[in-house]
Amino acid sequence: MNKIWVIGLGPGHPDYMLPIAKRKLLQAKRVYGGKRHLETYNMKGDKVQIKIPLFETIEDIKSNYRLNQTAVLVSGDTGFYSFLEMLKEHFSEDELETYPGISSLQYLFSKLNMSYHNAYIGSVHGRAIDDEEFRNYNIMGLLTDKKQGPKELMDKLRKLDLSATLFIGENLSYSTEKITAIHTSEEIERTYSSLCVVVIKFD
C-alpha cells in the first residue's frame, strides 16, 4: 500500500534538503505543497497547491494517495510545527512515512555558530509563550509570524525588564537572506520579513 510521504524541505534553498528527501520527491507521482515550494524544488509528479482551509487538501489526499504515490512538502523539519500534526489527525501511523529536514531554527543557530541543546526552542507563530519561559532560559530560539515578529518580541523583553541580544534571521538560505543582531537597548528602525526566526541571547 502506498504511504503518504511527508517530506521536510529544510529552510528553503534546495542545497539544504537531505539527499533521501530529494530522491523521494523525484519519485512521487503527486506532490502537495505551498506555491513557493512547488516552484522551487525539482519534482516530476503532478503539483497540487495546498489550500486553506486545509480540510479540502486532506480530502484530496484521501481520494488520491492509494492510486498515486503522494508526497506532502513541509518547510524546515517535519517534526517542528509542520502540517504533519494535522495529517496525523486524518491518517493512521501506517499511512504516513516521514522524511525529516533541517529546521529554520537549526539553520540560524548554525549560522551563528551557536549550540541549541540548552535553549528554549519554540514558536510565537499563532501562539503565546509564558513570561516565565523568558526568565528561565539563557538562550531562546523562536519561530515568528507577521503579528508576532522581532518588534513584538523586543517589546515583550522590555516589558519584562530583560536585556538581551536578538539575532534575527530573515528569508534564511534564500538569496535575500539577512541575519542581523539588535540589543534591547537599541531601537528597531525597520520592518522585518514575515519569513523570520529569532534567537534571543540574554545578557
Ligand X SMILES: C[S@@+](CC[C@H](N)C(=O)[O-])C[C@H]1O[C@@H](n2cnc3c(N)ncnc32)[C@H](O)[C@@H]1O
Give the residues lining the site for ligand X (CB under 6 A). Answer: 11-12, 74-77, 80-82, 103-104, 125, 143-145, 169, 171-173, 195-197
CA 95, CA 66: separation in Å to the nearest integer?
A: 10
Q: Rounded to the nearest whole angstrom, what is the least distance from the CB of residue 66 to ligand X in the complex? A: 27
Q: Rounded to the nearest whole angstrom, what is the least distance from the CB of residue 190 to ligand X in the complex? A: 16
Q: Write the CA distances from 168 to 38, 155, 164, integer angstroms.
A: 26, 15, 13
Q: Which residue number places its CB atom closest to ligand X? A: 76
CA 57, CA 60: separation in Å to the nearest integer?
A: 5
Find the largest Cα–Cα distance for the chain.
58
Q: Rounded to the nearest whole angstrom, what is the least distance from the CB of residue 129 to ligand X in the complex? A: 14
Cβ burial, residue 89 (10 Å; 0-12/13-18/19+): exposed
Q: Rounded to the nearest whole angstrom, what is the least distance from the CB of residue 102 to ligand X in the complex? A: 8
Q: Are 173 and 11 in contact (CB under 8 A)?
A: yes
CA 132, CA 144: separation in Å to the nearest integer?
A: 19
Three-state secondary structure call for residue 2: coil
Looking at beta carbons only, is 68 or 129 nearer to ligand X?
A: 129
Looking at beta carbons only, is 64 or 81 nearer to ligand X?
A: 81
Q: Rounded to the nearest whole angstrom, what is the least distance from the CB of residue 51 to ligand X in the complex? A: 16
Looking at beta carbons only, is 64 or 98 nearer to ligand X?
A: 98
Looking at beta carbons only, is 64 or 134 nearer to ligand X?
A: 134
Looking at beta carbons only, is 95 or 145 nearer to ligand X?
A: 145
Q: Rounded to the nearest whole angstrom, what is the least distance from the CB of residue 169 to ligand X in the complex? A: 5
Buried-exposed string 136-149: b where 16+ CB fall within 10 A, e elsewhere: ebebbbbbbeeebb
**What are 30's three cell numbers?**
503527486
Looking at beta carbons only, is 30 or 177 nearer to ligand X?
A: 177
Looking at the DSSP assignment, which residues form a beta bridge with residue 99? Answer: 7
